[in-house]
């Protein structure tokens, strides 16, 4: 029986949602995370903080839980990395404090009023039950959950001196940690949408060392797996989850297989102000090279890599972050890794002593009522579906798409009749091939991309042997696609900002200049087996067994297979929606 079914559902008003059935639990198959049927499931998560002093998932004083969950779905995420503090799971008297009592002890009486209005059913629940209610509502909205042990003592994370950094620190007793992991793994044992556990966030500080990493990660992994064999066991590296280089020499020994995932964090500020003070092509190359040595190599070794935190200041005013993001998106498309954005949170109840602190990295606005920056949501949307992986549209032959990180769009034809190209949705991308002769051709046609004159459109043509039909990836970042005109001058693919047409221009900011931003000319050629245009407009419900379901209204059904503990769960996620006013 074929369970991955792209069922197209037409909704009242405007929304077309492919419905993808995922059979839980998840496993690993080499570098891919897959479901029961071996089909790739790409984690496209958002982090939702629930580990600060209040120990309550942020935002519940601003919006009803179910509204927040549906907003997460509407933004195209299929999963939440939900943080928790260790002591919530190891200290019964803490766990039984109610939501109301927790805010009262922090002096946040307005927050209590807010929760009473927006989430009356949660306000008198013990903290641990409020946490369970969040997980359960996410499940009802078909969102997968990764439980992330973010810290021991509730509070903002992370510093090297906060006593929560590494085994043996003041608040980080390995035995207590194992106990807490076991307790959480057991608690969510029969909860199919809990698909993974991040065992500990951002190991760090003076005490960190490789020997203890192997020792305790092995113990923690075994404890989680024996308490809950369904979940993926997700491990953080050293130095704020930036370093796994030690794994190149010595593997981790576990008694189980098919469940181990490594998580890595990547922010602009991981490299100080390098992005702002350097030439973006050179910085991107250097930083990515370093990242690959420290952790990216795990993909080649056959391990899934979950970039469980990345993010930027979404106001668009932080040059360091903006430049990083364009490079990040290029690499993330090319390597097609699993990821989790930091963060959902629009503002915190209380963070670092500040009440109602605005989260400029948050995808929701300060009042939790809107999307902070829809340009940003558009930019990441192309990464929310897999480009490749087992079981993905097996009828589609491997091809390339040409991705433009700074818009999150792909190179597509202006219209079927025309030779002109433009930026458009990656779901409508042409299937390209990049040949050994360095031509970029449309698959199954005799058309290839040709440079014409400087500043003019780069067109599709049929004479593919001359100089101006040969394309190279140049600059240190290798994200400029360049050709030579017949008179010998070198040009790069670019976008005409007025007409949105793909043109050729003088190549920008190739080296040295740090004032210059080349991202308009950054394109990356991505391997893909995603289905292309031809199959995309069949607007019928294809799966006999699935009834027509309304967007956001699919019920979670958990059918048990005879005898096995695995459940088959029709799991949906939707394409990101562009018209956000209609949600
Ligand atoms: C458990 O939590 C309670 C309530 O916050 C606190 O008073 C107590 O010290 C904690 N116990 C331990 C063992 O940490
Ligand atoms: C894992 O097992 C291999 C082979 O038995 C051994 O060489 C290696 O040292 C072990 N690694 C750890 C971390 O125990
Ligand atoms: C959203 O981000 C873009 C790109 O970084 C920026 O230009 C724009 O000003 C931002 N919009 C808002 C509302 O912050
Ligand atoms: C090649 O032609 C372009 C106009 O298409 C011109 O701008 C450029 O200077 C010429 N290059 C050389 C090396 O003559
Ligand atoms: C363009 O010309 C340069 C300099 O002669 C050469 O190194 C490069 O390979 C050429 N590019 C392509 C795509 O042929
Ligand atoms: C893309 O596919 C080509 C050809 O199959 C392969 O050589 C290359 O390594 C792939 N690149 C990535 C980043 O997976």
Q: Tell me how crowded residue 527 is: count the other CB atoms within 10 A of its CB.
A: 15
45-381, what's its fold? TIM Barrel (3.20.20)
pLDDT band, residue 416 (cuts 50/70/90): confident
Distance CA 167, CA 549 (A): 48
The reported pLDDT for the residue numbered 393 is 67
Mutate to test the pocket of ligand 1, among 90, 92, 94 (most ligand atoms within 8 A of CB): 94
Percent of the residues in the chain that have a pLDDT greater than 90, as a whole number: 83
Lowest mean pLDDT, pick from 217-231, 499-513, 532-546: 532-546
Least confident range from 198-212, 356-370, 388-402: namely 388-402
Other C-beta atoms closer than 10 Å to the C-beta of 252 total 15
At residue 3, the pLDDT reads 34
Look at residue 546 and tell me whether its pLDDT is greater than 90. no
Residues 469-494, mean pLDDT to the nearest whole number = 96
Overall average pLDDT of the 472-487 stretch: 96
Centre of ligand 6 to C-alpha 29, Å, is 18
What is the Å distance from ligand 5's center to 488 Cα? 8
Closest CA to 485 of 459, 514, 520, 450: 450
Size (the chain), residues: 583
Q: Is the CB of 487 under 6 A from ligand 4?
A: yes
Decide if pLDDT at 471 tops 80: yes
Reported as a pLDDT band with limits 50, 70 and 90, residue 157 is very high
Tens digit of each residue's pLDDT (9 = 90 or more) over 199-233? 999 999 999 999 999 999 999 999 999 999 999 99
Residue 18 confidence (pLDDT) above 60: no
pLDDT mean across residues, the chain:
89
| Secondary structure (DSSP) of 395-427 | TSPPEEEEEETTTTEEEEESSTT-S-EEEE-GG
Give the pLDDT band of residue 15 (cuts 50, 70, 90). Answer: very low
Would you place residue 83 in the very low, low, confident or very high pLDDT band (cuts 50, 70, 90)? very high
Interval 521-538 mean pLDDT: 73
pLDDT value of position 266: 98
Confidence of residue 394 (pLDDT cuts 50, 70, 90): low
Which residues have CB under 8 Å from 31's CB, separation 6+? 298, 299, 300, 302, 303, 304, 305
pLDDT of 548 over the 90 cut? no
**What are the residue boundaries of the structural domains of the chain, listed by start?**
45-381, 399-528
| Distance spanning both ends of the chain, measured CA to CA | 34
Mean pLDDT of 99-122: 98
Q: Is the pLDDT of residue 296 over 90?
A: yes
Same topology, domains 45-381 and 399-528? Answer is no
Mean pLDDT (whole number) for 358-375 = 98
Provide the CA 195 distance to its chain's centre, in angstroms: 15
Check if 324 has its Cβ closer than 6 Å to any atom of ligand 3: no
Class of domain 399-528: mainly beta
Ligand 1 pocket list (CB less than 6 A): 91, 93-94
Give the ligand at the shortest distance from the Cα of 450. Answer: 5
Task: Report which protein residue has its CA nearest ligand 5's atom 2.
Answer: 484
The pTM for the full model equals 0.90
CA neighbours closer than 13 Å in the CB half-sphere of residue 112: 14
Distance 39 CA to ligand 6 centre (A): 20
- Mean pLDDT score, 459-485: 96
Of 86, 82, 53, 55, nearest to 180 by C-alpha is 86
- Beta strand 79-85 with 44-48 is parallel
Q: Which two tokens stand for residue 105?
A: 């002890």
Ligand nearest to the CA of 216: 2
Question: Distance (Å, rounded) from C-alpha 508 to C-alpha 83?
Answer: 42
Torsion-angle region of 79 (φ positive above 0: left; ψ -120 to 50: alpha; else: beta): beta
Q: In which region does residue 419 sit, left (phi positive, over 0), alpha (psi from -120 to 50) or beta (all else)? A: alpha
The stretch 133-161 carries a mean pLDDT of 98
* Contact predicate 310/267, CB 8 Å: yes
Is residue 265 within a helix (H) or strand (E), and if so which, with residue range?
strand 260-265
- The mean pLDDT of 452-458, rounded to a whole number, is 95
pLDDT in tens, 425-445: 999 898 999 999 999 999 989
Task: Quote the pLDDT of residue 534.
Answer: 39
Q: Quick one: which H or E segment has residue 60? A: none
Q: Is 509 helix (H, G, I), strand (E, B) or coil?
A: coil
pLDDT at residue 392, as a whole number: 83
Binding site membership of 529 for ligand 6 (Cβ less than 6 Å): no
Which residues, listed in sequence order, are joined to residue 341 by a DSSP beta bridge? Answer: 46, 310
> 69 CA to middle of ligand 3, Å?
24
Q: Are 364 and 370 in contact (CB under 8 A)?
A: yes
The strand pairing partners of 40, in sequence order, are 34
Give the model's pLDDT for residue 20: 67
Instruction: State the DSSP code for 37.
Output: T
Q: Ligand 6 test: best mutation among 527, 528, 529, 530, most atoms within 8 Å of CB?
A: 527
Note the pLDDT of residue 444.
87
Helix axes 374-381, 319-335, angle to 10 degrees: 20
Please, what is the Cα angle at 59 between 354 and 83, to 5 degrees? 85
The C-alpha atoms of residue 238 and residue 165 are separated, in whole angstroms, by 10
Please tell me the distance from the alpha carbon of residue 83 to that of residue 103, in angstroms, as a whole number.
Answer: 18
Per-residue confidence (pLDDT) for residue 415, from 0 to 100: 86
Q: CA–CA separation, 425 vs 148, rounded Å?
A: 33
Ligand 5 center to 251 CA (angstroms): 43
pLDDT surpassing 60 at residue 549: no
d(CA 248, CA 326): 28
378 touches ligand 3 (CB under 6 Å): no
- Using 50, 70 and 90 to split pLDDT, how confident is the model at 395? low
Percent of the chain with pLDDT over 70: 87
């Amino acid at each position: 029986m074929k369970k991955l079914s792209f069922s197209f559902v037409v909704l009242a008003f405007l929304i077309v949602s492919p419905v993808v059935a995922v059979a839980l639990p998840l496993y690993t198959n080499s570098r891919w995370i897959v479901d029961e049927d071996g089909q790739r499931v790409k984690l496209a998560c958002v982090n939702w903080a629930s580990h600060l002093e209040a120990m309550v998932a942020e935002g519940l004083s601003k919006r009803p839980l179910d509204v927040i969950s549906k907003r997460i779905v509407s933004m195209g995420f299929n999963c939440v990395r939900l943080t928790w503090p260790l002591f919530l799971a190891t200290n019964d008297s803490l766990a039984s404090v109610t939501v109301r009592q927790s805010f009262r002890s922090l002096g946040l009486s307005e927050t209590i009023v807010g929760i009473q209005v927006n989430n009356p059913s949660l306000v008198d629940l013990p903290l641990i039950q409020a946490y369970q209610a969040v997980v359960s509502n996410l499940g009802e909205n078909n969102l997968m959950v990764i439980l992330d042990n973010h810290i021991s003592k509730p509070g903002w994370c992370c510093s090297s001196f906060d006593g929560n950094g590494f085994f043996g620190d003041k608040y980080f007793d390995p035995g207590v940690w194992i106990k807490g992991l076991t307790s959480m793994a057991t608690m969510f044992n029969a909860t199919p949408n809990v698909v993974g556990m991040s065992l500990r966030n951002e190991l760090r500080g003076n005490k960190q060392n490789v020997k203890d990493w192997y020792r305790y990660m092995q113990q923690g992994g075994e404890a989680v797996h024996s308490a809950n064999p369904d979940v993926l066991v997700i491990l953080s590296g050293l130095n704020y989850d930036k370093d796994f280089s030690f794994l190149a020499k010595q593997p981790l020994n576990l008694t189980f297989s098919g469940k181990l995932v490594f998580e890595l964090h990547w922010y602009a500020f991981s490299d100080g102000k390098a992005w702002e003070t350097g030439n973006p092509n050179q910085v991107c190359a250097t930083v990515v090279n370093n990242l690959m040595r420290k952790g990216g190599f795990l993909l080649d070794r056959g391990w899934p890599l979950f970039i469980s935190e990345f993010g930027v200041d979404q106001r668009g005013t932080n040059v360091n972050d903006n430049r990083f993001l364009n490079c990040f998106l290029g690499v993330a498309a090319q390597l097609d890794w699993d990821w989790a954005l930091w963060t959902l949170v629009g503002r915190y109840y209380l963070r670092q002593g500040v009440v109602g602190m605005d989260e400029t990295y948050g995808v929701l606005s300060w009042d939790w009522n809107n999307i902070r920056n829809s340009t940003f949501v558009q930019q990441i949307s192309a990464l929310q579906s897999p480009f490749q992986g087992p079981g993905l549209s097996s009828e589609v032959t491997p091809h390339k798409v040409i991705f433009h990180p700074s818009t999150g769009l792909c190179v597509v034809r202006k219209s079927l009749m025309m030779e002109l190209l433009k930026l458009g949705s990656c779901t409508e991308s042409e299937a390209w091939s990049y040949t050994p002769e360095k031509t970029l051709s449309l698959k199954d046609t005799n058309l290839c991309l040709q440079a014409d004159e400087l500043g003019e459109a780069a067109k599709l043509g049929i004479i593919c042997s001359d100089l101006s039909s040969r394309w190279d990836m140049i600059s240190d970042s290798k994200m400029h696609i360049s050709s030579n005109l017949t008179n010998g001058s070198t040009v790069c693919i670019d976008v005409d900002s007025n007409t949105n047409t793909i043109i050729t221009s003088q190549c920008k900011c190739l080296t040295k200049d740090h004032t210059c931003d080349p991202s308009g000319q950054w394109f990356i050629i991505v391997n893909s087996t995603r289905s292309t245009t031809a199959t995309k407009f069949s607007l019928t419900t294809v799966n006999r067994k699935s009834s027509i379901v309304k967007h956001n209204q699919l019920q979670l059904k958990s059918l048990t297979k005879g005898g096995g503990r695995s459940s088959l769960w029709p799991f949906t996620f939707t394409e990101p929606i562009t018209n956000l006013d209609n949600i």
